Amino acid sequence: MFDSGVGGLSIALELLKQLPGERIIYFGDTANVPYGEKSESQLIALADRITFFLVQKGVKAVVDACNSTSSVALDYLKERYELPIIGVIEPGVREAIERTKNGRIGVIATTATIMSSAHKRAAQKLDPSVKVFGQACPKFVPLVEAGKVSCKEAENACFEYLMPLVKKRIDTLILGCTHYPFLIPVIRRIVGPEVAIVDPAVGTIRELKEILEKKNMRKLSQPTGFKEQEYYVSGDPILFKEVGEKLIGTSLGRVFRVAIDDKIIENIKNGSAG
Catalytic residues: 66, 177
Give dist(CA 7, CA 24) in Å, integer. Answer: 15
Q: How far apart are the first and last CA of the chain?
A: 17
- Residue-by-residue DSSP string for the chain: -EESSSTTHHHHHHHHHH-TT---EEEE-TTS---TTS-HHHHHHHHHHHHHHHHHTT-S-EEB--HHHHHHTHHHHHHH-SS-EE-SHHHHHHHHHHH-SSSEEEEEE-HHHHHHTHHHHHHHHH-TT-EEEEEE-TTHHHHHHTT-SSSHHHHHHHHHHHHHHHHTT-SEEEE-STTGGGGHHHHHHHH-TTSEEE-THHHHHHHHHHHHHHTT----SS---GGGSEEEESS-HHHHHHHHHHHHSS----EEE----HHHHHHHHTT---
Widest Cα–Cα separation across the chain:
53
Listed residue (28, 31, 75, 81) closest to 51, CA to CA: 81
Q: How many CB atoms lie within 10 A of CB 220?
A: 8
